[in-house]
Amino acid sequence: MDLVLIWAVLLSFAILIYVILDGFDLGIGILFPWGRDAKERDMMMNSIAPVWDGNETWLIFGGGGLFAAFPLAYSILMPALYIPVLIMLFALVFRGVAFEFRFKSERSQGVWDGAFNFGSSVAAFAQGLILGAFIQGLEVTEGGYTGGALDWLTPFSLMTGFALMCGYSLLGATWLIIKTTGELQQWAYQAARWLLLIVLAWIAMVSLWTPLAKPEVAERWFSWPNFLLLSPIPVATLGVALALWHALKKQRERAPFIFSVSLFFLSFIGLAVSIWPYTIPYQLTLWETAAPPESQRFLLVGAVILVPLILGYTTFSYRIFKGKVAAGRSYY
């Protein structure tokens, strides 16, 4: 198999796993102010306390893998997205500090509650900005970024920023359904229903805006026979949304999270279809931005060792800390 394709699959897998795993814990941070008292906020935080930092391992793998396997794409993306990337990283650090200090603090716990919500919201919004700027495409001349420092800031990227915040909140609400009981769980069911409607509206807006703004995307989706071949993706998205609504109405515990993850997976597939085979949308392909085969082959040895290790300890930690969180119990 082509080494470039192997690395493309590996990095896509890492990004998707990061979006799902860190997505639900960022979502709980966004929903945090809706916890009615300190006890409910403790339960919300304890539902992610044992796993939240491990989830971010996939972000490091994805960033490092992009730098090593597709250096030209990395050298173009970073100058174009320095500001939102730095905002995201500072927000993630700020959120992590708030996470640790909240458990130690007694008199200023409210301050750290606000800091946790702020860091989670800003990190999610910045990731949406990066996604929107990436989909829109970058100004590239002779293999280098030639756009401005603020080209990423557009109405479309602002929309994707808010859309991702809502998507992560849906993941967070459905995670809380699995991990909690009682009034907090009932609140999570109700919040997830509203968030599902909002997320579907965002998906529809992005799906309409992108082909209208990018003829390449319109050609990919609406030319014949692509329209017929790709139609299962939106049909499956609608089916998953209906199944999620039904699962929430019947108050299933695990199915809402599985269907929420499925919505993200189908959206990810839709994005991949729209930009394939580009790493810099509509300008440079995977093969044009890839490292030499010798470098990719050498790096693949490390990836073959690292990926099973990360998957192993991730699975182990989720298995150890499975089950409901209880009021008054802390993992710290």
Per-residue pLDDT, 102: 84
The more confident residue out of 224 and 99 is 224
Segment 207-232 mean pLDDT: 93
- Under the banding of pLDDT at 50, 70 and 90, the label for residue 143 is confident
Neighbour tally for 15: CB within 10 Å = 18
Residue with tokens 């959206």: 267
DSSP 252: -
Which two structure tokens, joined as six digits, stand for 88?
Answer: 């995201």
Residue 211 gets which letter from DSSP?
H
pLDDT of residue 129: 97
Specify the pLDDT at position 107.
81
What is the spatial distance between Cα 203 and Cα 59, in angstroms, rounded to a whole number? 24
Q: Can you tell me the distance from the alpha carbon of 303 to that of 10, in angstroms, rounded to the nearest whole number?
A: 9
B/e letters for 160-173, b = 16+ CB within 10 Å, e = fewer, are bbbbbbbbbbbbbb
206/132 Cα distance (integer angstroms): 9
- 322, 114 contact by CB (below 8 A): no
Mean pLDDT (whole number) for 220-238: 95
**Does residue 266 carry a pLDDT above 70?**
yes
The structure's pTM equals: 0.95
Q: pLDDT tens digits for 38-54? A: 889 999 999 998 888 88
Give the mean pLDDT of 222-231: 94
Token digits of residue 196 = 């599902």
Residue-level pLDDT at 108: 84
Which 3 state secondary structure label does DSSP give 323? coil
Domains observed in the chain: 3-321 (1.20.1630)
Q: Give the pLDDT confidence of 239-264 residue by residue, as tens digits.
A: 999 999 999 999 999 999 999 999 99
pLDDT tens-digit map of 85-125: 999 999 999 999 988 888 787 788 889 999 999 999 999 99
**Is pLDDT above 70 for 332?**
no
